[in-house]
Structures are given as C-alpha cells and as structure tokens.
A and B are shown apart, each in its own frame.
Chain A
Amino acid sequence: MVIEPRGTLYPRVKVKDVEKIIESSIVNDEPEKTLLYSPNGNSSSVEKYKNIPFYAKQQRIALRNLGMIDQYRIEDYIATGGYQGLAKALTDMTPETIVDEVKQSGLRGRGGAGFSAGRKWATCASAEETPHYVICNGDEGDPGAFMDRSIMEGDPHSVLEGMIICARAVNSHEGYIYVREEYPLAIMNLQLAIEQATSYGLLGDNILGTGFSFTLKVSKGGGAFVCGESSALMRSVGGDVGEPRAKYVRSVLKGLHDKPTVLNNVESFANIPPIIVNGGKWFASIGTEKSTGTKAFSLVGKVRNTGLIEVPMGTTLREIIYDIGGGIQDDRPFKAVQTGGPSGGCLPKEKLDLPVDFDSLTEADSMMGSGGMIVMDDQTCVVDLAKYFLKFLVEESCGKCTPCREGLYQLHSLVDKMSDGRAVESDLVLAENLSKSIMIGSLCGLGKSGPNPFISTLKYFREEYIAHIRDKKCPAKVCPSLISYEIIEGPCDGCMACAPACAVKAITGEKGKLHVIDQNICDRCGACKAICTRQAIEIH
C-alpha cells in the first residue's frame, strides 16, 4: 500500500494494520514506523517507496500509470495527462511532424526485433496503396513475459492513445488490437477502454472535432505462439490460419489484406504519448545511443523480488538482478538468466555486467525479445531448459516449412536423448550441425531463432551437456532419468507422510521405522521430497 503524496510504502498490509495506518499516515501525516519496509528484516526501515532499491533504479515511462490510476476510469487517465499527446498530435502537428518526432526519439519496436518505429511509420505513411491499417501486437507469447498484459489490463488507454496518434501519422482509419486468448482480462479492459474513448469523442468519427476518424477493434487470438510473427498475425486477424509468409515484401507495405500496415507492440504504443508530449529529444536522452528510452521487463524465476520493472536501456544485468531483484532466492548461487523467450538465450554469471540493450544482448547470443527475464539458480538444469524450449517450439511451429517443422523435432529428440542419458558424444556434433541448417533454412523468425536456447546454453554450459552424455549425470539434479530419490536413515522418523503421497506406491515402511523407496517403481516425481518435513529425502 502506498500513501500519496508522501509516497509512504507499507508492504504486506493486513486488515488489523489498517487502523494504525489511518491514524498515523492520514490523521497525523506521519508514517507508522512499525509497519514500514525493512530490507532483510533488519531494524533500519525505509519510508518512501522511491528510496527502496527495487524502485530507486527504475524509471517508468511505458508503465507510468500502472498501479497509480483506476484502469476502468478514463477520467483517471485524462487526469494524469492522458490524451494530451493525442490532442497535440491532432491540433498542433502534421502527420509528417509526428513521424519526425517518433524518428527523433529513436524508439525501436519493443516486441523483440527492435526495428525503428519512426522508419516503419514513414514507410507506411508514404505508401500509395490504400487503405492503411494500424495493428497493435498484444500476442505476448514468450513464456515468462507479462509486461504487455499488465499494460493492457492496467493502462489500456495508453495503448489506444498511441495507436490513434499512429493512425493520424500514417493516415489510417481502421485499426486492430490483436490479443492472445490467454489474457481474458486484457481483452475486457481494452474493450471497455474503446467504448469509453469513443463516447468521449477520442475514437470514431471526427475525433476531437478535427475531422479525423479512426475506429478500433479487439481481435482475439486462438492460442498460437507463431501469431506473434507479423505476417502470421495479420493472417490471423483476417480469420485465417496463422502461417507466416516469406518477407520479400515487408508487411508494412503488404500487411493486413495485402495493404500497408503498421504493426507495433503494446509497449511501443504505450511509449508514444509521452514522446509526443515531451518530444523525441527527451526520449532519446534516456538510455544508450542506439537503444533509447527505457525497457520494461518481467523479472521472474529464482529471484527474490519478482515482478514488472522498467529501467533505462543500458542498465546492467547485475543491477537488475541484484539491486532491483534483491539477488537470488535463499542465497543460492546465480547460474544464468534467460532473456528473449524461446528465441533468446541464457547468459551466465560472466555476462552479469553486460549492459541490457538490443545490440549487446544480440552480440552475446541472446536477444532482447519482448522482455521476459528469467533468473536461474544452480537447481536449474540447462539441458532440461533447452529441451523445454525446443518442445515448446516443436508444438508451436506452424508446420509450413520443413527445416522448422522437422528440424526442431529432430533437435528436440537429440536433446531429449541427452537429458535421458541415452546420448553419445557424436549426438552433440549432430545437434550443432542440425541447428545451423534450421537457422539458415527456416522461413520466419520462429525457426530461424529456434535453436538459440540450445546453442546459447551449449556455448556457456558445454560441460553440463558433457556430464549428461559422458558421465550420465545431471549436475543440477533435475533430469529424472539421471537421478534417484533416497530416504536417509537418521532424519527419517517413520512419520508415514511420504508413502501415501507417492502416486506409484514405491515407498514402503512401518510407523516409526525407516522407509524405503523401490527404485524400480519410483518415477522420480519428487512428491515425497515435497511432503517430507524432516529433509530425510535426498536426490542422488
């Protein structure tokens, strides 16, 4: 709970605390010292949320209104300066000056590829064919990323405003927001926001009396990862299967219904209103020279503080994980951080001082992606992780081109063999060669970057692959075929908790006596270890 305008933060507020908070913070305008945040439980407490390391290193532009306004009230958005950018764009600016402002900001698409938004808009604006479309990509498919969901749910008007400004710049009168069906609340909030904006004269015919018209519809996805790819997404909006096409002609010229189309993602559009209000120069002054502005990340995994963050481009991984994230849970050693979703890669501790921007991440064989940042400790197995991503991609490959459809399938089989202890060393060479073929031969980004999770983990953690293949050992103790659960004498007091928890009935023993796991029956699900309160079960 944050009490403004002082900015006093009370973490984990309970019902019984409310009375004290009202008495101190509201009646006396003094913080209630006993309830303030104290880092690591020591006595020195911090009153203002802005001084807590988690917030201090952040700068919020795209996420500016999250948690600050009531997302169901357009009045709240307007009260915090919302739709001022639109008013400025429609009354004080021409389509050309809007495009120039966005170009000057240096804003690069936040969906992953990092293409210059200003250049994309300029190409569409000057395309002769009509009509022009504006589409917002809300198909945030990277597992582990939820920045866009939070913006669509918590500040839907910022996306709408960015899109209307774009429509004005590229002379479009019809737009779509494509949202994945896994995000029902985002769909609902966007629809409500569209209704409100329309009734306020900010959408529809004759916006703000300027004669400019633009209508927006929400288009619901069908649960296909590949639909985040531009040409697949546009096909899906058109009611078809989401199969990508070869991009000899870019989708900005032949997009939805083969007409010129600007496609940007949610975070990109949410950045537009502040750029228009404060100017492109202001935005370009934040971040690094080639990656301007800020970037939102979902910081999750084995990190102490999980959640959404937004930092200037160029912030290092160490600052993000240790200063903002508070380090690794249970003080375990940091192993790697995964960025860029299934197309990205894993970065080891040697790369902790890498500045986070589009180009540095690509150079290190990972990528920015949409902004998922998954932190891993020593209990995460990279072979298992690579297998996980490959399985995901096998299932999500649309099946149109052979290198992706068959190649990823075979690559997954090889990595599965490694994790299962059935692989020989030549399989590693085969997998590396196969990866190269898939990357060269695939049609769209899904296949081209599909082997990345394998390639990058192999690059930084080759010895772990060797351990699986040569020694038949999983150092992180994750891969089920290479580990065994054993009950150790001493801690086990025969409490009888584990035996009923075992779904395959592999545990035998009497009350008060040592229990035993039958290794031939055990399917290594870990249920016994999860239920044992005496740490009597070890993984070998």
Chain B
Amino acid sequence: MNHDFSKLPDIIEKHPKSPQSLIAVLQDIQKEYHYLPCEALKLTAEALDLPLSKVFSVSTFYNAFSLDPRGEKVIRICTGTTCHIRGAKQIEHQLETQLNIKSGETTEDMKFTLEVVNCVGACAMAPVVIVNDEYFGSVKLTDTRKLLKGGNNAN
C-alpha cells in the first residue's frame, strides 16, 4: 500500500487542537484512506498531544474505524433485527461463500471487503445490503451475484 500521506497534516489542521477532536480527526482520516494507516495514528497523537496508546484505544473501540486496508467495494450487510428475521444471515453466508472470505475480511485481490453493520434504520425495506454508499432493499438470496457484479440492476 503506497499512500500519499502529505494530506494528513491538512486533515488534522482542520480541527481544533484538543483531545475532544480525536474522534472527528480519525473519522476524516478514515474517510480519506478508508482505513487508519499506522502513520496517521502517530501523526494524530503528536498533533493533538495525546499518547499513542490513547489514539490506538479509540481507533480500536469504535466499529467505524479499521486498521486494515479495505477493498475497492465495501459490501455491508445490515444485521438489524428486522433484516435478521428476514434472512440477513443467509445473505451473509451466501456472500461469504461466493467471495470465499469471512465477514470482516477483504479478498486477496483487494476488490471486495465484506462487513456486517448494526441496523442502518432502513427496516421497512429489509433485508438491506449497502455496496459502498448505495443502498439495496428487499435483497433476495438470488440477488447476491448481481450485487457483486455491478449492483446497479440488483433491484
């Protein structure tokens, strides 16, 4: 992974230099790189004058942060209660088998990351799968291959 880390100081600069900004800074870094590179954690700790252990603890506590690089397409399966009773588990299982990874993992070619996410609040259209930022509702077991291919005609 080669990253252009020159953007990091600008991202950090945008926030007030206070411990209260820690989560917001990490969220912006995660948004830019889709994960939190080790260098970023060190820079954040220095900039906000916090121990690195503190930055590490916050970045591992919240589900929104990932310390591992993620794939081009992040597939998130909603596992809210409604999605669960309408078959989210089976959809997760199907995608795991088709991609040959467990949820939380990324394919070797860095194309796909499979994740489960707690309720996204779109329960009326359960079960829901989100591919990058696109929401697909009432997903059927037979739709999974379409989701992996392009996604656009899945619904």
- Chain A positions within 8 Å of B, measured between CB atoms, are 140-146, 149, 181-184, 219-225, 236-242, 298, 300-302, 306-307, 338, 341, 372, 374, 376, 380, 385, 388-389, 392, 396, 398, 501, 503-504, 523, 525-527, 530-531
A385-B85, A501-B142, A503-B97 known; A224 vs B61 contact (CB < 8 Å)? yes
Contact B118 A530 (CB under 8 A): no
Contact B62 A223 (CB under 8 A): yes
Residue of A nearest to B93 (CB): A525
In the bound complex, residues from chain A placing their C-beta under 8 Å from that of B63 are: 222-224
Residue of A nearest to B15 (CB): A239
**Chain B 64-84, CB within 8 Å of chain A: the 1/0 string?**
110000000000000111111
In the bound complex, residues from chain B placing their C-beta under 8 Å from that of A338 are: 81
Contact B119 A301 (CB under 8 A): no
- A222-B58, A241-B62, A530-B142 are known contacts; what are 4 more A-B pairs with Cβ within 8 Å? A145-B123, A182-B118, A222-B63, A388-B81
In the bound complex, residues from chain B placing their C-beta under 8 Å from that of A225 are: 118
- 17 pairs of residues in contact across A and B, judged by CB atoms under 8 Å: A143-B81, A143-B82, A143-B119, A144-B80, A144-B123, A220-B27, A222-B26, A239-B18, A239-B19, A240-B19, A301-B85, A341-B81, A372-B81, A388-B81, A398-B61, A504-B97, A527-B142
Residue of A nearest to B22 (CB): A239
Is B121 part of the binding interface, using a Cβ–Cβ cutoff of 8 Å?
yes
Of A145, A222, A525, which is in contact with the most chain B CB atoms at under 10 Å from its CB?
A222
A146-B121, A182-B117, A238-B19 known; A503 vs B94 contact (CB < 8 Å)? yes
Contact A142 B119 (CB under 8 A): yes
Q: How far is the CA of A518 from the CA of B62 in the complex (A)?
A: 42
In the bound complex, residues from chain B placing their C-beta under 8 Å from that of A141 are: 118-119
Q: How far is the CA of A526 from the CA of B91 in the complex (A)?
A: 9
B72 → A minimal CB distance (Å): 20
Residue of A nearest to B19 (CB): A239
Q: How far is the CA of A265 from the CA of B49 in the complex (A)?
A: 33
Nearest 6 CB-CB pairings of A with B: A222-B62, A223-B63, A146-B121, A143-B80, A143-B119, A503-B97
Contact B82 A525 (CB under 8 A): no
Contact B118 A392 (CB under 8 A): yes
Contact A145 B141 (CB under 8 A): no
Contact B23 A307 (CB under 8 A): no
Contact A300 B123 (CB under 8 A): yes
A144-B123, A374-B81, A380-B85 known; A223 vs B118 contact (CB < 8 Å)? yes
In the bound complex, residues from chain B placing their C-beta under 8 Å from that of A396 are: 118
- Chain B positions within 8 Å of A, measured between CB atoms, are 18-24, 26-27, 57-58, 61-65, 79-87, 90, 93-94, 97-98, 117-124, 126, 133, 140-142
Contact B141 A223 (CB under 8 A): no
Contact A182 B81 (CB under 8 A): no
A143-B82, A222-B62 known; A239 vs B23 contact (CB < 8 Å)? yes
Q: How far is the CA of A39 from the CA of B78 in the complex (A)?
A: 32
In the bound complex, residues from chain A placing their C-beta under 8 Å from that of B84 are: 143, 385, 388
Contact A182 B23 (CB under 8 A): no
Of B27, B120, B122, which is in contact with the most chain A CB atoms at under 10 Å from its CB?
B120
In the bound complex, residues from chain A placing their C-beta under 8 Å from that of B121 are: 140, 145-146, 149, 182-183
Q: How far is the CA of A523 from the CA of B92 in the complex (A)?
A: 13
Residue of B nearest to A227 (CB): B62
B75 → A minimal CB distance (Å): 15
Contact A181 B64 (CB under 8 A): yes
B56 → A minimal CB distance (Å): 11
Contact B27 A222 (CB under 8 A): yes
Contact A144 B82 (CB under 8 A): yes
Q: How far is the CA of A389 from the CA of B85 in the complex (A)?
A: 12
In the bound complex, residues from chain A placing their C-beta under 8 Å from that of B126 are: 300
In the bound complex, residues from chain B placing their C-beta under 8 Å from that of A184 are: 133
B46 → A minimal CB distance (Å): 16
Contact A224 B62 (CB under 8 A): yes
Q: How far is the CA of A220 from the CA of B23 in the complex (A)?
A: 8
Contact of B141 among A181, A221, A527 (CB under 8 A): A527
In the bound complex, residues from chain B placing their C-beta under 8 Å from that of A501 are: 141-142
A229 → B minimal CB distance (Å): 14
Q: How far is the CA of A240 from the CA of B22 in the complex (A)?
A: 8
Q: How far is the CA of A141 from the CA of B118 in the complex (A)?
A: 8
Q: How far is the CA of A417 from the CA of B39 in the complex (A)?
A: 43
Contact B90 A182 (CB under 8 A): no
Contact B120 A182 (CB under 8 A): yes
Contact A525 B97 (CB under 8 A): yes
In the bound complex, residues from chain B placing their C-beta under 8 Å from that of A523 are: 93, 97
In the bound complex, residues from chain B placing their C-beta under 8 Å from that of A302 are: 85
Contact A306 B124 (CB under 8 A): yes
Contact A239 B27 (CB under 8 A): no
Q: How far is the CA of A527 from the CA of B97 in the complex (A)?
A: 12
B20 → A minimal CB distance (Å): 4
A372-B81, A503-B94, A525-B94 known; A146 vs B62 contact (CB < 8 Å)? no
In the bound complex, residues from chain B placing their C-beta under 8 Å from that of A149 are: 121
Contact B90 A527 (CB under 8 A): yes
Q: How far is the CA of A46 from the CA of B126 in the complex (A)?
A: 28
Contact of B119 among A145, A222, A530 (CB under 8 A): A145
A401 → B minimal CB distance (Å): 15
Q: How far is the CA of A523 from the CA of B82 in the complex (A)?
A: 23
Contact A222 B64 (CB under 8 A): yes
Residue of A nearest to B84 (CB): A388
Q: How far is the CA of A184 from the CA of B130 in the complex (A)?
A: 13
Residue of B nearest to A301 (CB): B82
Q: How far is the CA of A240 from the CA of B61 in the complex (A)?
A: 10
In the bound complex, residues from chain B placing their C-beta under 8 Å from that of A221 are: 62, 64
B28 → A minimal CB distance (Å): 10
A222-B63, A376-B85 known; A182 vs B119 contact (CB < 8 Å)? yes
Contact A241 B82 (CB under 8 A): no
In the bound complex, residues from chain A placing their C-beta under 8 Å from that of B57 are: 241
In the bound complex, residues from chain B placing their C-beta under 8 Å from that of A224 are: 61-63
Q: How far is the CA of A13 from the CA of B93 in the complex (A)?
A: 36
